[in-house]
Structure 1
């Protein structure tokens, strides 16, 4: 009996050792040179910043699909690599306040921050915010005064809860207002994409300066009393049209537990051309996209050598992340190609090509977010894989529940997490080139990116090959 047990022990040990060597072998196919080759294409000017629904995004989708096809992956969407869906593009039209023949124009004299439009010109009543007002605001627009915008969101929400139809924030500091309107007007005037129709009952938010408020009330701000109101005409128009876009999916069927699925994601869209400048999005999220392509290739090489994973793996690059996590939302909430209850985990890669200031002296790091939110096992697996293979500094700074950046809620993994699917989000931290035309390939640290990609590969390999699926606890 002992001899049999000992022999079985040797077989098990040998099997685990062989699996480790297999993982190492295929991890080595992930190289900084290959990552750079892919990224040099996807983050080039030719792709025009890959904005959702544009020519550049379509070109990127074709590139990714062709890569999946070359790897021999199945096309899981009724024989296609593309999961197509429609979004609604809303372009803001004429926004203004009118008083007689005089107008104050949106994005010149004030900023309009809302998806709601008026039904033509509407008479509105503006009242000063009153914290002691017990009977609510009855559809009025509520006026707040503030030195800076920070902290105003809570007050705006309180006013809305008390019945306000709109909120006007007057910035007392003219320099602060000028800086705000200059910085944000170009973004807010660009067409926006949404998964659902606009909600015209949504709160209408206006941010203006003291001069505009005094024009509305016809007197200096200091003379406006709490029981006074101003009546004025307001107009906000939108033009809506459908826009077709697509997630790109490549499927590798598992050898022993094909019904159980690991999903590896990154978003391949970016913000396009703003003010005539191409925003290439090399780090955000070209880096994550090409990391998925390289991990997919490593799994493909294993498949060719008859060493493919026991569980199925779906490699999915999603669109619409920059517009509100819309591509992953479509997959999880509208058309999960594979049942969510069979999805064991999601590994999401969003910005892994740069070194932030906090790690300038030690570039061998990655921020890990969410690994312990739903599964103790996943967190421990992640830690053990890193210790065994990559020895990166796993930084959990942004995993803190109280972190003001709230990154856990800001990338595509969240749509899986909200469905009780364990996730890990890999991230390099912030930098001054975020959403700027300066987020270019020349600033990518490919050697560090290679190490991060291998960490994700080893984690995916372990999840896909372990005996039991990751437990949710």
Structure 2
């Protein structure tokens, strides 16, 4: 893939026409975004004392207060009836007991299986485990799955719709393989194990009897007493050749309320103040492991959070000096991203400013590191940009123009494909704006060995590179905020289903 970027002279000239593109003011204010300030804020937010900023934790609230105090100190207003906080009503569901037995094998949670479903049962259910394999009409016609646990082979496919189809067909529950190889499964199981005892946080919903157990391909083969390759072949068209097994399972659940907040600072614009640009990040991370190890979350997403802070300071400084943007800007730090994009979902369902007046969302999630793709490159001044041309043909051009004019980063679009197997587009908070047809651009540095590990610490952050990335986002926001015409929404949202 060509990671470089060349704009024609005609395009450059065309993009130079709107607003303040060549004015020196934005350079002055972009230069207030410094590595020193980013370091100061991130050293605090990603310290061991902040204990991983888990959603709803006391340290999460301390982080929220730190952000609100920062916005207040720079003259930004609290847009929620004078407050900087939007309460996000969440609950923590704790599965106090999850058991699964197949034949004589009593499986161990977070070792032999990971529980990814829902349910609450007074006593264990006894049934059979049957093998369905691929969810096709042909296979469904060959296997009686009513009232039974159903073994699914869902490697390399999106499983949500398949699970729903099988449950709607009368299955009592599902045992699913979604990846091959024990090592891949073990990484997920170890993460669940490290967070054992912590509740699953989400919106309060009616409990569904939907027990879903994820196992490795090796474990599934073991449960059916069949080699993996035989099981894979049977999954295609002959699931009835795999003998069913006796099984029992139980799930016991309790729910408790969680106090969590989105944090926001607001800068009112001038003549176009009814139109709002949202610059977002998530300030939560995943807390502390069951062994007491802190997931500092320096890159994910301390880096995005402090970038939003510094961009907010740059705009606030400009406003104090008589260079207030024409459009209003909402600096939004959301909670619950790590639990399923919860805070941004709540904001988009309960917006402080009407979504029809929301011009743009620039989302920043992990911008402090160099990823696998660039770790051996001679030029590591890059950033991945995702989603910037899906809904607006203007936005990608604006990002590119400001990059050429001011930042000189490599803008890499490799993860912007609709069929990207990593599905990064669906995994951060911009998604909840795009689904409402609001143009978005997601800025991201890719994954690395410390992603979601206790080793994601401040000492590994590339602060000069992070500063360049934050300044590019500032330049983009400045351009959109001050141009005469609102950016067009002339595209179609083709990525609506997570």
Task: Tell me the TM-score normalised to structure 2 length.
Answer: 0.83
1:301 aligns with 2:317: yes
Counterpart position of 1:82: 85
Change (3 A) 1:52 1:25: same
How many Å apart are 1:425 and its aligned residue?
A: 0.4
Q: Counterparts of 2:176 and 2:102 in 1: how far apart (Å)?
A: 19
Counterpart position of 1:292: 308
Equivalent residue for 2:284, pick from 264, 269, 277: 269
Equivalent residue for 2:50, pick from 43, 47, 50: 47
Map 1:211-360 to 2 at 5 A: 226=241, 229-274=244-289, 275-333=291-349, 335-359=350-374, 360=377
Change (3 A) 1:424 1:151: closer
Q: Counterparts of 1:145 and 1:80 in 2: how far apart (Å)?
A: 49
Counterpart position of 1:8: none
Counterpart position of 2:477: 460
Give the greater-gyration-radius structure (CA): 1
Counterpart position of 1:164: 171
How many Å apart are 1:120 and its aligned residue?
A: 2.8
| CA displacement, residues 429-452 of structure 1 (integer Å, 9 cap, x when unaligned) | 111000111111111111111111
Are 2:102 and 2:129, in contact at CA under 8 Å, matched by a contact in 1? Answer: no
Map 1:17-28 to 2 at 5 A: 20-28=23-31
| CA displacement, residues 65-115 of structure 1 (integer Å, 9 cap, x when unaligned) | 000000111111011001112211011111124689995443355332213
How many Å apart are 1:465 and its aligned residue?
A: 0.5
Q: Counterparts of 2:321 and 2:401 in 1: how far apart (Å)?
A: 26
Q: Counterparts of 1:345 and 1:378 in 2: how far apart (Å)?
A: 9
1:123 aligns with 2:102: no
Map 1:54-69 to 2 at 5 A: 54-69=57-72
Q: Structure 1: state its 5+ residue gaps.
A: 1-12
Q: Structure 2: state its 5+ residue gaps.
A: 1-15, 228-238, 491-498
Q: Counterparts of 2:437 and 2:204 in 1: how far apart (Å)?
A: 24
| CA displacement, residues 189-240 of structure 1 (integer Å, 9 cap, x when unaligned) | 53211123254143523427878987x88xx558x98485444432111111
Change (3 A) 1:319 1:234: same
Give the match's secondary structure for 2:367: coil
- Give the RMSD, CA atoms, in angstroms: 3.1
Are 2:126 and 2:248, in contact at CA under 8 Å, matched by a contact in 1? Answer: yes
Task: Tell me the TM-score normalised to structure 1 length.
Answer: 0.87
Map 1:114-193 to 2 at 5 A: 114-129=117-132, 132-134=139-141, 137-144=145-152, 153=159, 159-160=166-167, 162-169=169-176, 181-182=189-190, 184-187=192-195, 190-193=198-201
Counterpart position of 2:203: 195
Give the match's secondary structure for 1:277: coil
Are 2:118 and 2:209, in contact at CA under 8 Å, matched by a contact in 1? Answer: no
Are 1:210 and 1:221, in contact at CA under 8 Å, matched by a contact in 2? Answer: no
Give the match's secondary structure for 1:279: coil
Q: Counterparts of 2:400 and 2:307 in 1: how far apart (Å)?
A: 20
Map 1:423-442 to 2 at 5 A: 423-442=440-459
Counterpart position of 1:399: 416
**Which of the two has greater strand per residue?**
1
How many Å apart are 1:284 and its aligned residue?
A: 0.5
Are 1:96 and 1:236, in contact at CA under 8 Å, matched by a contact in 2? Answer: yes
Are 1:116 and 1:204, in contact at CA under 8 Å, matched by a contact in 2? Answer: no
Q: Counterparts of 1:188 and 1:431 in 2: how far apart (Å)?
A: 24
How many Å apart are 1:380 and its aligned residue?
A: 1.1
Counterpart position of 2:232: none
Aligned pair count reads: 455
Q: Counterparts of 2:424 and 2:17 in 1: how far apart (Å)?
A: 41
1:471 aligns with 2:488: yes
Counterpart position of 1:9: none
How many Å apart are 1:355 and its aligned residue?
A: 1.4
